[in-house]
């Protein structure tokens, strides 16, 4: 099989994505509009009959003072990652972006490697001999990833170093709740006792959850900034969320939603929900330090899960988790919060780099480390 890669229109890219059961929202043309500091391009893979068989969003990040770029395809491209010869797909990509001035490529292979169910995760947290999730025996292993990993190494690709400075990377470990064919009652029964109690408590105390509109982003943002200060991360400006709202909803009116969890007129939690086809993501969350006892965060998550079922989704994705399972790990609470949903931890093959110009690629890495 011989494939060629060339630029396609955003409209054609949207149509291709719509034909797939699941495509990351980071691989939609709209995401290129959100990441305005990067150049962007929609690419198509064409077979010998000139049929569109794959697509991807490339973000081009320029090296300072030089017209050379890092070509980045977050959580993509959408190609046949289980092909016997992955080089058939990746070689024409490398040729195309090199001709566009790229000194290196980073892709995010959306291939599931391992899964850990809630009981396995809870047992691993309780076992002092297991400091990291990857050291716990998984419930499911996808053995095709071994061939893919070996093939990519032979082609010159490599996973980035754990401490690499390039900060745009996506998490390799995520937490997902499978919802296909399950009723809200079944999903609620699958949650742990604390989650069920908190959802019930929120309802009893009069917490309400509603969808907001663009104007409500101005209410969401101060709560998000408060959350950032509490959890020690750098918040994005309000303008970022407004751009995200406008770009994603222009592509699909139901691509992004804002949820507001309120108690007696006070906003106690707020979240953004993103959907592409059968996959829904919890993308950003905020909660107030005050009134934590009314459990607004549980209430808003429960509403989003139910709405994902109604929308015909098969997966509700709570996004990234870290690997640390030790009692003093600062991120352990996040895993424990998510595992309460009854979902599973999922490891993807994740991000891989191909330096096209090793010298420039090294210079870019140094630059990103200094920025970080």
Q: For residue 10, with 0-12 CB atoms within 10 Å meaning exposed, 13-18 middle and 19 or more buried, which class applies?
A: middle
Q: With b meaning 16 or more CB within 10 Å and e meaning fewer, what string describes 319-356?
A: bebbbebeeebeebebbebbbbbbbbbbbbbbbbbbbb
DSSP one-letter code for 132: B
Which residue's entry shows tokens 């309120």?
262
Among positive and negative, which fits the CA dihedral 264, 267, 271, 277? Answer: positive
Measured distance CA(133)–CA(95) in Å, rounded: 37
3-state secondary structure (DSSP) of residue 178: strand
Superfamily holding 4-109+142-162+349-370: Gcn5-related N-acetyltransferase (GNAT) (3.40.630.30)
Residue by residue, pLDDT tens for the chain (372 residues) are 899 999 999 999 999 999 998 899 999 999 999 998 899 999 999 999 999 999 999 999 988 788 899 999 999 999 999 999 999 999 999 999 999 999 999 999 999 999 999 999 999 999 999 999 999 999 999 998 899 999 999 999 998 765 544 445 788 999 999 999 999 999 999 999 999 999 999 999 999 999 999 999 999 999 999 999 998 899 999 999 999 999 999 999 999 999 999 999 999 999 999 999 999 999 999 999 999 999 999 999 999 999 999 999 999 999 999 899 999 998 898 899 999 999 999 999 999 999 999 888 888 878 777 765
CATH no. of 180-313 = 3.40.630.30
Whether 4-109+142-162+349-370 and 180-313 share one fold: the answer is yes
What pLDDT is recorded for position 164?
46
As given in the structure block, the two tokens for residue 261 are 């969890």
Residue of 306, 267, 266, 308 lying closest to 286 (CA atoms):
267
Domain definitions of the chain by residue range? 4-109+142-162+349-370, 180-313
Q: With b meaning 16 or more CB within 10 Å and e meaning fewer, what string describes 279-311?
A: bbbbbbbbbbeebeebbbbbbbbbbbbbbbbee
Residue 290 sits at φ, ψ, to 5 deg, of -70, 150
E strands in the chain: 4-7, 39-46, 52-62, 69-73, 102-116, 140-141, 173-178, 208-212, 256-263, 266-276, 279-287, 315-320, 344-355
Beta bridge pairs of residue 107: 73, 352
**Strand 69-73 to 102-116 pairing:** parallel
What pLDDT is recorded for position 240?
97
As given in the structure block, the two tokens for residue 369 are 């480390």
E strands in 157-233: 173-178, 208-212
């Amino acid at each position: 099989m011989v494939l060629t890669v060339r630029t396609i229109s955003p409209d054609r890219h949207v149509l291709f994505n719509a034909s797939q059961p699941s495509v990351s929202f980071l691989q939609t043309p709209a995401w290129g509009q959100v990441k305005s500091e990067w150049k962007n391009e929609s690419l198509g893979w064409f077979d010998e009959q000139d049929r569109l068989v794959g697509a991807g969003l490339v973000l081009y990040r320029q090296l300072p003072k030089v017209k050379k770029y890092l070509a980045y395809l977050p959580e993509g491209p959408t190609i046949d990652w289980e092909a016997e010869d992955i080089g058939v797909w990746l070689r024409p990509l490398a040729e195309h972006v090199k001709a566009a001035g790229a000194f290196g490529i980073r892709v995010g292979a959306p291939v599931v490697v391992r899964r850990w169910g809630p009981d396995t995760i809870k047992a691993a947290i309780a076992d002092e001999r297991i400091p990291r999730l990857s050291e716990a025996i998984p419930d499911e292993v996808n053995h095709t990833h071994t061939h893919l990993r070996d093939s990519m190494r032979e082609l010159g690709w490599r996973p980035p170093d754990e401490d690499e400075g390039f900060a745009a990377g996506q998490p390799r470990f995520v937490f997902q709740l499978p919802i296909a064919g399950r009723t809200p009652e079944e999903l609620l029964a699958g949650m742990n006792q604390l989650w069920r109690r908190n959802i019930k408590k929120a309802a009893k105390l009069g917490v309400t959850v509603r969808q907001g509109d663009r104007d409500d982003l101005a209410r969401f943002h101060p709560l998000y900034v408060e959350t950032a200060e509490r959890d020690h991360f750098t918040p994005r400006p309000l303008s970022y969320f407004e751009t995200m709202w406008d770009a994603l909803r222009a592509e699909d009116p139901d691509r992004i939603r804002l949820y507001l969890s309120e108690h007696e007129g006070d906003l106690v939690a707020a979240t953004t929900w993103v959907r592409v086809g059968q996959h829904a993501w919890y993308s950003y969350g905020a909660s107030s330090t005050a009134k934590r006892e009314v459990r607004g965060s549980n209430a808003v998550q429960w509403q989003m899960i139910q709405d994902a079922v109604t929308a015909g989704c098969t997966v509700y994705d709570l996004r990234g988790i870290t690997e640390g399972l030790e009692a003093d790990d600062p991120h352990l609470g996040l895993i424990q919060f998510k595992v309460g949903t009854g979902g599973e931890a999922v490891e993807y093959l994740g991000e891989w780099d191909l330096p096209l110009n090793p010298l420039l690629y090294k210079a870019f890495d140094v630059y990103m480390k200094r920025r970080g």
